[in-house]
């Protein structure tokens, strides 16, 4: 399953990143980081219909489970250190300027 936000050419341009990646560069004390647990990606928002479709788009190829994509409207994207619960960076993607992390 995947979760994606879709934009239409007629829709609002608020929150679009124009191809810019989410970047995070931050020093974290080694004692406060356990990368065996990875980092957590936190997405805040709501599920929303893919333009012209439903919320869930599923496709089955062969006898296995279907592959599904859920439409969403994101308000915030964050990276969290699971060892401490500390939020390392937050991007408010509902705001017009989403180029730099809020933290």
User: Full-prediction pTM beyond 0.75?
Assistant: no
* CA separation for the pair 3, 70 (Å, rounded): 5
* 16 pLDDT tier (thresholds 50, 70, 90): low
Q: pLDDT tens-digit profile of 23-59?
A: 889 888 888 888 898 999 999 999 988 888 889 989 8
Burial class (CB in 10 A: 0-12, 13-18, 19+), 93: buried
Q: What is the pLDDT of residue 37?
A: 85
Report residue 34 CA to chain centroid gap: 22
Question: Taking the CA atoms of the chain, what radius of gyration do you get in angstroms?
Answer: 17
Q: pLDDT tens-digit profile of 50-93?
A: 888 889 989 888 888 889 999 998 899 999 999 999 999 999 88
């Amino acid at each position: 399953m995947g979760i994606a936000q879709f934009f239409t050419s007629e829709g609002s341009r608020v929150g679009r990143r124009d191809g810019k990646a989410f970047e995070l560069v931050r020093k974290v004390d080694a004692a406060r980081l356990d990368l065996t647990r990875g980092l957590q990606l936190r997405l805040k928002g709501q599920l929303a219909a893919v333009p012209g479709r439903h919320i869930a788009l599923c496709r089955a190829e062969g006898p296995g489970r279907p592959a599904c994509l859920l439409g969403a409207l994101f308000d915030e994207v964050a990276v969290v250190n699971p060892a401490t619960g500390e939020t390392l960076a937050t991007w408010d993607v509902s705001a017009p300027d989403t180029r730099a992390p809020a933290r």
